[in-house]
Amino acid sequence: MTHRLWTPWRMQYILSDKSGDCVLCKAAQSDDEAGHYVLLRGEHNFVVMNIYPYNSGHLMVVPYEHVAGLEHLDDETLAEAMRLVRECTTLLGRVMHPDGFNVGINLGKAAGAGLHEHLHIHIVPRWVGDTNFISVLGETRVVPEMVSDSYERLRAALETKPSNAC
């Protein structure tokens, strides 16, 4: 028996022109928060949904400054980035109830960075059992929720958050 996994949203990425302007800079400069899936804005960094996620709720903390490496950021930008990582794990914990998180930075193309020219920190919610044979053997990701649905749930939680939560 043949099994098929349909991921029609991937074709947009596969066929897209990747030689143009930086998508993270476009999101940083846009007033269309929902159109770019921007969740939060700080003074030096912003938080955006990954539109090609490894898992539901995959967020990225991104400096406004277009730089490739940590050595190019000042202390205030780095400190705010880590505060936003903390806020994001708190928010994702409240809304999505993951069992853990992968938080990381891929520095350079050789390290696996898809957008190696604009530094960003990944925050990926993880659940026990979310990696199975299809991810390991089939090199295919199964993401159970559309990015737009995750964005709406997280935005709603931000708008109704308790005063002492992120």
Query: What positions carry a catalytic annotation?
Result: 120
Please give the Cα distance from 44 to 21 (Å, whole number): 20
Instruction: List Cβ<8 Å contacts ≥24 apart for 75-83.
Output: 76/43, 76/44, 77/44, 77/45, 80/42, 80/43, 80/44, 80/45, 81/44, 81/45, 81/121, 83/42
Q: Rg of the Cα trace of the chain? A: 16
SS3 46: strand
